[in-house]
Structure 1
């Protein structure tokens, strides 16, 4: 019993560092949303067309509005995450963006982001991609400098499943409930100021 109490005391002491988890989530997610938002903003006419095109895109109604909202949410969200400002509020439109991406883009492709030939989440689609990947490797070995092309990582075939979007959604959900965290967020210092004045 004493050992359990002592271990509990050690665990309780780690709460002094509990701000590190939301800070890590914020700093991990911020560049992801910044890059996604900048890509949409820099090619906005193409983004609008992709949002609205029912044949080759998402087929969403009001594509200009939807593209603008998604771009704004990602860019403002990235800044808010870095600053730790309004994190619980900005998590909502970012989670909505991830849900739309999951349903409209990634869900038909299954779970896996990268194709693999075996495992519990492999599908006929991902398994057949392995044969195509092997063919690509053979062509590169015969006609290209395969070692130079792969010296920074293996070749893969993107499956574009929900894996990454679902992971980001879960991270945002965690931030929605925990907030930006203590010490290294504007939200924390605003709350401290309000409490001190009350």
Structure 2
């Protein structure tokens, strides 16, 4: 009985491993628009980005803010393009991982885990609970003085908590690409490595 179950398990794992082409591609496709939008936003308002990176009162207070802003912008724009192609994937994700670590440590850390304030979710902090009270008060005002049904027809109102949730999720996805690579067949890296091995094999004959 146990040997049969183990054989079935190994067969299922072998079948799943054949789908790794889609796993790497799915991670890349998900991350490309995120980093492209972040990079284009920084580039289109680059002077504001530099000011935010450098100001210690209302920004990040980082040294060499122009250089840091340029590196972050280049990492996100270049990373989005290279991830789309699946080209130099493992090298590409390293600066993006650093960018996410900096974002977690400087932007999101003080706000806890949640990106959206939800007092019913795990890891809800006092800040999140206070945000929920403010949100309910805002809803009461809008119900009384505004067109609440129209205002909420595209979705419910939420309070942005700006916790590490999204940045941590992107970091985990980048780490997965670093370990597993971009996937077979549908990435430039796969064909480059395959071509290089075929060249080496032909020379060794």
| Higher deviation after alignment, 117-126 or 52-61 | 117-126
The equivalent of 1:22 in structure 2 is: 24
For 1:1-198, what aligned pairs fall within 5 Å after superposition? 1-198=3-200
How many residue pairs get matched? Answer: 198
Once residues 131 and 6 of structure 1 are traced to their aligned partners in structure 2, the CA distance between those partners, rounded to angstroms, is 52
Once residues 190 and 10 of structure 1 are traced to their aligned partners in structure 2, the CA distance between those partners, rounded to angstroms, is 30
SS at match of 2:18: helix
TM-score by length of 1: 0.97
- Structure of greater Rg: 2
TM-score by length of 2: 0.94
Q: Deviations over 1:137-194 (max 9, x none)?
A: 1111122211121122211000000000011001100100111110000000000100
Once residues 182 and 9 of structure 2 are traced to their aligned partners in structure 1, the CA distance between those partners, rounded to angstroms, is 28
Once residues 80 and 52 of structure 1 are traced to their aligned partners in structure 2, the CA distance between those partners, rounded to angstroms, is 28
Structure 1 stretches (4+) deviating beyond 4 angstroms? Answer: none
Unaligned 5+ segments in structure 2 are 201-205
The equivalent of 2:203 in structure 1 is: none
Once residues 184 and 175 of structure 2 are traced to their aligned partners in structure 1, the CA distance between those partners, rounded to angstroms, is 18
Once residues 158 and 76 of structure 1 are traced to their aligned partners in structure 2, the CA distance between those partners, rounded to angstroms, is 28
Q: Deviations over 1:63-108 (max 9, x none)?
A: 0000000000000000011100011001100000000000000000
Specify whether residues 117 and 13 from structure 1 end up closer, same or farther in structure 2 by C-alpha distance, changes over 3 A only. Answer: closer
